[in-house]
Chains A and B, each alone.
Chain A
């Protein structure tokens, strides 16, 4: 059987080879690799499309080994595994709050803060922060509610996506 994957690689030399290495070693065939360095994600990483062939067990082992190498799998056979969630906080935000918020978010399974922006205002109450999160597919609604609760508990106005 054949499996189409989209992996997310760092833009550094050797990354692609490292990612492809276990595929052959575990006995799967690489059918195609599409690697465009000029197409980048939010964090400057590169999405790489890979098609591999093999029996079911082999392909499962390949997926597991890729995950063990801490390489993000964005898509499997067209099914999105990760989605991007943007949220904005308004209020008197200080760097302590940001560190805490990022730590809280990153500690949730399947959640990673991908981008963080802070815009300070003359009136501290009016400062705003934008957080872009990458999360496993399917947890968006719960995650947004969590963020809202957490932000509200700190006195921030939380603006979530629709």
Chain B
């Protein structure tokens, strides 16, 4: 299977690493021989129809930061769409940075690939939370596979889990801790009694929170995931503007202390059901499945047959996210053969 990876940040590099690590196993177990025929970043692209050298890709990116510097096959000033036009590939891995304003350029990349009948795997929340139906219809119109497990909760299995493992169930709601950064900050505040801003600064120093933490701490990132879950798992037709959103910036040590005395913790919870789409701080009981510390993600699905099912896993990280993307690629391969 020939992959075209658009976007070569932490996730794109993680996917390359994982493909390299698992090469033998994938051939042996599934008869799946993956080659990466094109990779793009802001600098341009590296394209080789016979497959790029993954170790060299990673080395060049780490050394110069520019994939266009790839010897012999590097190309500068080429757009993602141009690459998709020029290169013969089977599956697009769209992992450019999330853009929640208009979903671009990822939306254009994915639509282009789907219209050309190519399969698409992505972790990109932007177009998924803004243009979900459009993408689904584009994929259906050419019978292309479209998978996006990595977009919600990183390595925590939830989307394919709902569609495949819980097939036959009616899922009525999903509630969960869907943002690792917020959960880390709230856990530290609860354990140490420290104020919000100080804890945020510490998280930034540790690289857990970004320099501009707005998307995480205002609940926007979790809201994107709620939209994806509502559309995909609950089969609703909603967008980011439909979600009631409150982040963690107003949470104080005093409120956490009061909650603790009742055996409760404050967590940022996302909720998707047929009558509610919401991200807000909520009280959860100590010792309950939601009482997790650190950057873990957790979600509980309410179903008619299986009752409540709870999943947990690492919500972020280059290799963890790549794990979800690889499983999507393998699923597509299995469906084809």
Contacts and interface: CB of A to CB of B under 8 A. Distances in A.
A119 B283 contact: no
Contact of B282 (A119, A129, A130, A159): A159
Nearest to B263: A86
A90 B255 contact: yes
Nearest to A161: B283
A10 interface: no
Contact of B252 (A128, A130, A162): A128
A160 interface: yes
B252 A126 contact: yes
A32 to B, nearest CB: 31
A132 interface: yes
A119 B254 contact: yes
Q: Is the interface of B mostly helix, strand, loop or mixed?
A: mixed
B282 A161 contact: yes
B264 interface: yes
Interface residues of B, number: 22
A127 interface: yes
Contact of B262 (A129, A130, A160): A130
B284 A162 contact: yes
A162 B266 contact: no
Nearest to B262: A86
A128 B255 contact: yes
Interface string B249-278: 011101101110110101101000000000
Contacts of B281: 157, 159
Contacts of B246: 157
Contacts of B258: 88, 117, 119, 128-130
A117 B262 CA distance: 11
Contacts of A90: 250-252, 254-255
Nearest to B251: A90
A121 interface: yes
Contacts of A129: 258
Contact of B250 (A87, A157, A160, A161): A157
Closest 7 CB pairs of A and B: A128-B255, A130-B258, A128-B254, A119-B254, A126-B252, A162-B282, A161-B283
